[in-house]
Amino acid sequence: MKSPFTSEYTDRFRSDPVAQSALKNTRKLRNIDYSTFDAVFFPGGYGLLWDLASDSHTIKLIRDFYESNRPIAMVCHSPAILRDVKKSDGEYLVRGLSLTGFKNDEDSEIELQHHLLFSLEDELKRRGAKYMSKANWQPNVVIDGVLMTGQSPASALPLAEALSQRLKDVSRSAA
């Protein structure tokens, strides 16, 4: 993989033995007590359209984080997981929220739009989200309350920085 899909952080991750060990020994999300976490960060990738977007455990996790006011950060295709998330009152979580994610034009540019299970952009708009985008492959982070989203791989670093700052701010206010 090459730019715009990777960065110097990708290279650093690949050459870090601790990171590689953690990757090889990753636990299933279903087996983690997420109630002990202050935030959740979902990286992108196309695979989650097939697995996490319809996974009841992941959908419940996102609803629980949202309703307990804990940050949810999602970049690239991961906001697709929001497609079927509903709040406890039955309304789609994204209704009325500003967000972003990998846009249709970006999928078209790399000729994958016809191979995807669904369009992140279209499905979130259908559920009432205020989808916001910038030019293809440009960094774009949209924050609406605890929901923090990034448009493309170029948004991963600024989104991670925004999440880090949010957690620092929460920590300071709790002290």
- 31-79 pLDDT per residue, tens: 999 999 999 999 998 888 888 999 999 999 999 999 999 999 999 999 9
Could you list the beta-strand ranges (E) of the chain: 40-42, 72-75, 98-99, 130-131, 141-144, 147-150
**How many whole angstroms separate alpha carbon 64 and alpha carbon 144?**
17
Task: For residue 58, tell me if it sits in a domain.
Answer: yes
Residue 86 is assigned to a structural domain of this protein: yes
Residue 13 scores a pLDDT above 70: yes
**% of the chain surpassing 70 pLDDT:** 97
Give the pLDDT of residue 145: 97
pLDDT for residue 115? 79
Residue 21 lies in a domain: no
pLDDT of the residue at 112: 77
Full residue range of the structural domain in which residue 48 is found: 34-174
In this prediction, residue 147 carries a pLDDT of 98
Is 126 part of any domain?
Answer: yes
pLDDT of residue 148: 98
25 located within any domain: no
Q: What is residue 3's predicted lDDT score, i.e. its pLDDT?
A: 62
More confidently predicted of 84 and 1: 84
Q: How far apart are CA 11 and CA 22, in angstroms?
A: 16
pLDDT at res. 48: 86
Of 86, 82, 91, the C-alpha closest to 149 is 82
Find the helix or strand (DSSP H, E) in which 125 lies.
Answer: helix 120-126
pLDDT category of residue 144 using cuts at 50, 70 and 90: very high
> What's the CA gap between 46 and 167, in Å, rounded?
28
pLDDT of residue 1: 56
Strand residues in 40-146 grouped as ranges (E)? 40-42, 72-75, 98-99, 130-131, 141-144
Answer yes or no: is 43 within a domain: yes
5 occurs within a structural domain? no
Domain assignment present for 24:
no
Is pLDDT at 4 greater than 70 in this prediction? no
CATH number at residue 49: 3.40.50.880
Q: What is the mean pLDDT of the chain?
A: 92
Q: What secondary structure does DSSP assign to 63-87, as a single string? A: HHHHHTT--EEEETTGGGGGGG-B-
User: Across residues 130-146, what is the average pLDDT?
Assistant: 97
> Count of domains in the chain?
1
